[in-house]
Amino acid sequence: MAIITDTDRKRMGTMHPDMSAVGPIPAEVKESDHQVPTRDGQWIRVRVYVPTKQASAPRPLIVMYHEGGWRMGDLTDEDLNCRMFARDLGAVCVNVEYRLAPEHPFPTGVDDAYDTLLWSTKTASPTSVILPADLEAGFVVGGSSAGGNFAAVMSQRAGDEGLNPPLTGQHLSVPALLSRPAIPENWKDVCGSRAESKFDPVLKMKDRDEDHEKIEHLNVEPENPMYSPLLHENIGNLPPAFFQIAGLDPLRDEGLLYEDELRKKGVPTRLNVYDGFGHMFWSNWPTLRQSQDFVSDTLAGMKWLLKTNVQPS
């Protein structure tokens, strides 16, 4: 996905990340950074958000993955969501700073994301000083764009590898789910949004092959389900999924297709579509009424995931 320049940010009315503030930490939330061990002997940083109010019920755990096309982004991208979930839902949140391509090619970021889930299952408990959460009360993954891809992949991988306790929900916000070179023939008629919305101001696909550029940076086969989770062979035994899809997003159709496929397999789904808006619109134009609606919908959808709390059999 294309890097947004300072010129772009001026045109879109947004600021460079170094100059923008995500806002003060709410008094209702305590934040702390921790190091998580990875399978290759390294460490990655995570940020943990814990409500300061005394818990009246077991606290669920929400693990969030940031956007950035697998090549950029950091913890600040999901700060606001994690603070909102901790403050308004009483959830403990983990914000993951996975390693980025091209310095760390596929599947490093995917493994970092899953290693964080493994760490969470070992660390979380109602009496933990780091993750005071009860995974039986809810264990949800989420993210936007590439982060939504990770959330979908983690849901599948957790089922494949028997993560215990299992995940209970997935939040897929404008997710990247299917590489264009890997689209099967029988889906090509329903996957036209990348061409229809090629002038999206955030993804900036235009006339170049964005997918091949990403594949080259990541060093990944486009058909690999850990990159294109829509191609996973078994999607029927997954936790409930909450989708937020933008109507003019190049990634629109793969999100709609995945929601349809999950629903057909009996997976509970909730779908919000924002007609007339492009990729990550609420983040780049936060003062729009529709952007504020998007944030409200995010909170409502996460409430639904935690209330549904259906564990795969």
Q: List the alpha helices (DSSP H) in the chain.
A: 6-12, 79-89, 108-123, 146-160, 193-196, 210-218, 252-264, 281-284, 289-308
Residues 6+ apart with CB under 8 A from 46: 33, 34, 35, 36, 94, 95, 96, 97, 116, 119
60-83 pLDDT tens trace: 999 999 999 999 999 999 999 999
Is 1 part of any domain?
Answer: no
Is 17 part of any domain?
Answer: no
Q: What is the 3-state secondary structure (H, E, C) of 36-95?
A: EECCCCCEEEEEEEEECCCCCCCCCEEEEECCCCCCCCCHHHHHHHHHHHHHHHCCEEEE
200-251 pLDDT tens trace: 878 876 555 555 556 567 788 889 999 999 999 999 899 999 999 998 899 9
What are the residues facing 111 on neighbouring strands?
A: none
pTM: 0.88
Is 44 part of any domain?
Answer: yes
Instruction: State the total domains in the chain.
Output: 1
Residue 184 has pLDDT above 80, yes or no: no
- The single-letter code of the amino acid at 70 is W
Contact criterion met (CB below 8 Å) for 55 and 133? no
What is the arithmetic mean of pLDDT over 119-135? Answer: 98
Helix (H, G, I), strand (E, B) or coil at 274: strand
CA angle 70, 121, 156 (to 5 degrees): 50
Distance in angstroms (rounded) separating the CA atoms of residues 232 and 225 = 5
Is 20 part of any domain?
Answer: no
Distance in angstroms (rounded) separating the CA atoms of residues 144 and 61 = 18
What confidence score (pLDDT) does residue 124 get? 99
The domain in which residue 266 lies consists of 6-12+27-308
Is 143 part of any domain?
Answer: yes
CATH number (domain holding residue 85):
3.40.50.1820
What confidence score (pLDDT) does residue 293 get? 95
Is 22 part of any domain?
Answer: no
Is 313 part of any domain?
Answer: no
What confidence score (pLDDT) does residue 4 get? 42
Going by DSSP bridges, is the β-strand pair 139-144/61-65 parallel, antiparallel, or unpaired? parallel
